[in-house]
Chains A and B, each alone.
Chain A
């Protein structure tokens, strides 16, 4: 029965005290939230903990859920707050970027793997607020409008910030790789 219900219907059931509905919401969204936290923190252990924490917060804050609100925007706002709370509490702990061996690649696949590993490091080197814009828009597939709702800013502001964050990521990537651009890109902004 739960399988055919929308997220919003399940959330209404959670508000009514049905904890099995929270289990179904967890099954639907835990993978995406885990990926959000992985991109934000780079730590698998922390990502699993924060993913669980989000759903426990959903339970605790269920009375603040408004039935006309989009569940996806709401849960990402909770995830955003959980991550901020964690970084505030643990300022002295920084995510350890994985080691990267940038030796000459033997195959196309290896070259791609190295490019992705370097991109992950470049992402981790960005300020968290800019990294989050790229994570939400590119990896989590949220629309600019949803991100705006979540962060409390205008949709056009989100678009401008996302595109500028993309430019900043490219600059960091180029610095890290010691090359003027990805193998497919290059040049300077006019």
Chain B
């Protein structure tokens, strides 16, 4: 007899719902078949696997989410829809009113598509769901050009997002944009407030990737600051001794 003739009996036995006859058939087969015995043993091992728990804050987060849905600002989605409609309308209006040379058409098309992508990226960054905001960050980092509004939104996300994953992604995305002095300063201040060592290290990478001669001095001061996480301090020490950062070491 083949194993497949016992699939149902063994499945019932594993679940604990087999009749006495089915259980006897399953056990007799498993006594002779090492593969089916192995599968049954695996079932038992799976049952011993540790159970993951969601964060304790999830119910409160859901309640806030639910309340915001119930008092629903439907206008938020309407605003996104309106922006998309305006983008599409602008695109067609541009096509019909502009001169018809192919180069102008292509330039208009690129411009409109870029605007549309920026609208989508900005609206994703404002979503309640952390995975949607992560998508927004990825979308932003794929944008061409350096729209200050996108840089501002990413910087705001880096400073304020409750999810470490999203803040890390925002720090990474910002590396490809030049930072205005005001944005750069607010990112420096983040090093005083963010309690995640991973985010602090990502911010240090972000700041040291920009060619600002004052960076080295500030990082040295940061390294010597009391209360700094020891992993962050070690990372800073390695980075500073690597000589990759411009500026002279403080004597």
| A residues adjacent to B (C-beta < 8 A) | 19, 22-23, 26-27, 30-31, 34-35, 38, 43-49, 51-53, 55-56, 59, 90, 112, 115-116, 119-120, 134, 137-139, 143-144, 156, 159-160, 162-164, 166-167, 169-170, 173, 181-182, 184-190
Q: How far is the CA of A143 from the CA of B165 in the complex (A)?
A: 36
| Closest Cβ neighbor of B38 among chain A residues | A185
B186 within 8 Å of A (CB atoms)? no
Say whether, besides A48-B55, A144-B11, A189-B3, A163 and B65 are in contact (CB < 8 Å).
no
Chain A residues lying within 8 Å of B41, measured Cβ to Cβ, are 182, 184-185
Q: How far is the CA of A22 from the CA of B67 in the complex (A)?
A: 11
Whether B35 contacts A51 by the Cβ 8 Å rule is: no
| Closest Cβ neighbor of A189 among chain B residues | B35
Whether A119 contacts B12 by the Cβ 8 Å rule is: no
Whether B61 contacts A159 by the Cβ 8 Å rule is: no
Whether A166 contacts B39 by the Cβ 8 Å rule is: yes
Say whether, besides A44-B52, A138-B46, A185-B38, A190 and B3 are in contact (CB < 8 Å).
yes
Chain B residues lying within 8 Å of A49, measured Cβ to Cβ, are 129-132
Say whether, besides A134-B46, A137-B15, A170 and B38 are in contact (CB < 8 Å).
yes
The 7 closest A-B CB pairs, nearest first, are: A187-B34, A185-B38, A189-B35, A159-B11, A34-B54, A49-B129, A185-B41
What are some 25 contacts across the A-B interface (CB < 8 A)?
A23-B62, A26-B62, A31-B53, A45-B130, A46-B131, A47-B54, A48-B54, A49-B129, A56-B66, A56-B69, A59-B69, A119-B45, A134-B46, A137-B15, A138-B47, A159-B12, A160-B8, A163-B11, A167-B39, A170-B38, A170-B39, A185-B39, A185-B41, A189-B33, A190-B32
Instruction: List B residues 24-39 near A (Cβ within 8 Å).
Output: 32-39
Secondary structure dominating the interface of B:
helix
Whether A156 contacts B130 by the Cβ 8 Å rule is: no
Whether A45 contacts B50 by the Cβ 8 Å rule is: no
Contact with A along B138-157 (1 / 0, CB 8 A): 00000000000000000000
Chain B residues lying within 8 Å of A120, measured Cβ to Cβ, are 49
How close is B125's CB to chain A, nearest CB, in angstroms? 15
Whether B38 contacts A187 by the Cβ 8 Å rule is: yes
B199 within 8 Å of A (CB atoms)? no
Residue in B3, B39, B61 whose CB lies within 8 Å of A52: B61
Residue in B45, B48, B58, B63 whose CB lies within 8 Å of A48: B58
**Contact-residue size bin, chain B (C-beta under 8 Å from the other chain):** 35 or more
Chain A residues lying within 8 Å of B132, measured Cβ to Cβ, are 49
Chain A residues lying within 8 Å of B38, measured Cβ to Cβ, are 170, 181-182, 185-187
Whether A139 contacts B58 by the Cβ 8 Å rule is: no
Say whether, besides A30-B59, A48-B54, A48-B55, A185 and B10 are in contact (CB < 8 Å).
no
Say whether, besides A30-B62, A52-B65, A143-B17, A163 and B131 are in contact (CB < 8 Å).
no
Contact with A along B1-20 (1 / 0, CB 8 A): 01110011011101101000
How close is A92's CB to chain B, nearest CB, in angstroms? 9
| Closest Cβ neighbor of A22 among chain B residues | B66
| Closest Cβ neighbor of B46 among chain A residues | A138
Q: How far is the CA of A170 from the CA of B33 in the complex (A)?
A: 15
Q: How far is the CA of A144 from the CA of B42 in the complex (A)?
A: 18
Whether B134 contacts A45 by the Cβ 8 Å rule is: yes
Whether B39 contacts A156 by the Cβ 8 Å rule is: no
B70 within 8 Å of A (CB atoms)? yes
Whether A45 contacts B54 by the Cβ 8 Å rule is: no
Chain A residues lying within 8 Å of B70, measured Cβ to Cβ, are 19
Whether B42 contacts A187 by the Cβ 8 Å rule is: no
How close is B116's CB to chain A, nearest CB, in angstroms? 18
Q: How far is the CA of A47 from the CA of B41 in the complex (A)?
A: 28
Q: How far is the CA of A189 from the CA of B47 in the complex (A)?
A: 22
How close is B185's CB to chain A, nearest CB, in angstroms? 29
Chain B residues lying within 8 Å of A53, measured Cβ to Cβ, are 129
